[in-house]
Each structure stands twice: as structure tokens, then as C-alpha cells.
Amino acid sequence: MKFLTTLERQFKNITHGDLKAIEDTLASLLNGLKLIWTISRHINQNDEKFQDILEAISNEICQRVKEKIDIKKIFKEKPHNALEVIKQGISLLGRWKDEYDKTKTAIEQESTITRWDFPKYKEIFLRPKHMRSVLENFREAMIALQEFYAILGPDLKAVVGSTQSIESRID
């Protein structure tokens, strides 16, 4: 497990960084994991341990997205701001799987490295896949909310004249 200390910076970014920092870390994290997989006999010959590492990373990424996009708070934010955070979450969850697949493909192309064929592959990416689907729904709802606020904007207020009734609906 000494090799994992070489990824300490990436692990800190995942546990303490914002969603953009985590997303930017994924390529170097997976590259480091590939390197560890290549040179560590202990990890290379123990699929179970490596699967546990990948699952822990996956769960931590999901936890960070969940903390940043709290269902109880996200719809109380301004739609534009909430939409940006939701898009970051969607992007991060998608990039996690994309970077994994890219690294897996690179390993498969090298004949000297044991392949990343893990029995728990689906379990590792099940939660991120589900969360991404839910965030897509949040994104659509936030877009609808944004359009609703646009309808109740300055043009309607100018026509109606009474802004109190419109503003009470928005709040």
C-alpha cells in the first residue's frame, strides 16, 4: 500500500476539493492507479483490493457531489447558479467513468499489463450512473424553472403594473 501514498495529492483533491478540482484530478489519479497496477505485485495480483480502492474512490466522488448538490437547498438557489453546479456534477460523474474506461483501454492495448476486468465493475459505477441520471432530471427541472422566472420577469411586470403579486409567486 506504500504506492498509494504517491496519490495523496489526488486523494486530498477528491476529499476536499470542489467539483471542478475533482474533475481535473481524475486523469492524473487514474494514470497513477495504472502505474501502481503495473508495478505493484501486491495490488496487481489482488483484484479484490483494487476493486475496493476503485469503489472507495467512486463513493467519495458521489459523496462530494451529494454534498455540493443538496436537494433541500439546490432549488432555493438562483436557477442560473444552481444550473452551473448541477452541470458540474453531471460532468464530474461522467468524466469519472470516461477516464476509467480510457485507462482500461490503454491497459488492454499493452500486452504486458494484467487487464482491468473486475467482477464488481457494474457496482463501482452503478451509484455514479444513477446520480448522473438524477442530476440530468434536476438540470431539466432547473431549466424549466429558469424559463418560468423569465416569463415572470420585467416584461410581465411592466404589463401588469403590480409587481407584488408576481414577486409573491416567485418567492
Query: pLDDT digit string (tens) for 64-85?
Result: 999 999 988 998 888 899 999 9
Cell reading at 19: 467539483
Rounded-to-integer distance, Cα 145 and Cα 141, Å: 6
**Does 167 score more than 70 pLDDT?**
no
Cell reading at 54: 476503485
Comparing CA positions, the residue from 52, 56, 63, 50 lying closest to residue 17 is: 63
CA separation, residue 65 to residues 10, 16, 29, 34, 49 (Å) = 16, 12, 18, 25, 25
Written as one string, the DSSP assignment of 97-157 is: HHHHHHHHHHHHH-TTS-----TTHHHHHHHHHHHHHHHHHHHHHHHHHHHHHHHTSHHHH
* Single pTM value for the model: 0.84
Query: pLDDT digit string (tens) for 107-134?
Result: 888 877 788 888 888 999 999 999 999 9
For the chain, what are the domain ranges? 2-170
CA separation, residue 15 to residues 9, 20, 23, 141 (Å) = 10, 13, 12, 28
Rounded-to-integer distance, Cα 23 and Cα 91, Å: 8
- How far is the first Cα of the chain from the last one, in angstroms, to the nearest whole number? 53
Query: pLDDT digit string (tens) for 23-80?
Result: 999 999 999 999 888 887 777 677 888 899 899 999 999 999 999 999 889 988 888 9
Query: pLDDT digit string (tens) for 136-147?
Result: 999 999 999 888
